[in-house]
Amino acid sequence: MQIKKADISTQEARTLFFQDGALDLIAGATLLNFGFDVLSQSPSSSLFTWVPILLFSSLKNRNTLPRLTPYLKNASDKQLRIWTLIPSFGLALMLVLLGIIMLSDALSLADLRFALGFALIALLALVPALWVGQKQFFIYAAVAFAAGLLSLFIAMPALFIFITAAVMLFFGGRAMMRFSREFVLDEEKDR
């Protein structure tokens, strides 16, 4: 996607800000860690589950912003902070809700709790698909929805969490490599 350094709309800037694959990678790593929580039936508050969310802002500041500074001239610092804060808050909320639904079964859903947990992942994956136009999140929603259906018949929820996380990590890694090649830093051009 070839974008000129001219003035771009807020929606175009937001889409550009999220096309780096960082959200995909962080969401995938968070789900991967949560899969280990489900596998071991430990609480979702374990340190390793939350670590990827804490790295989101750092990844945006070190990789994305230096590459996009010429393109984001119309985006205020406040907007950029909000664009970083909303996904972090959404991921934290997802973890809390998944912990309540899948690990504690506080809602007394028995076997339906895993299907409901995957439905939650699918719904939350639709938010970035609709908010910033990242189409790969439709794929994540479809994979999570299919995993939820399969979890009704095959009692291996951790496996389906790992599959969903692997899909996110694959597409996120691919997006980050494409982003890094398209938006090259000045130091990288000199090499």
3-state helix, strand, coil in the chain (%, to 5): 75, 0, 25
Q: What's residue 162's pLDDT?
A: 95
Q: 24 vs 9, 20, 42, CA distance in Å? A: 23, 9, 24
Q: What's residue 152's pLDDT?
A: 83
Is 80 exceeded by the pLDDT of residue 137?
A: yes
The more confidently predicted of residues 2 and 130 is 130
Render pLDDT for 57-110 as a digit per residue (tens, 0 to 9): 888 888 888 888 888 887 888 988 999 999 999 999 988 888 888 777 666 666
Sign for the pseudo-dihedral over CA of 136, 141, 144, 150 = negative
Is 90 exceeded by the pLDDT of residue 169?
A: yes
Mean pLDDT over the full length of the chain:
85
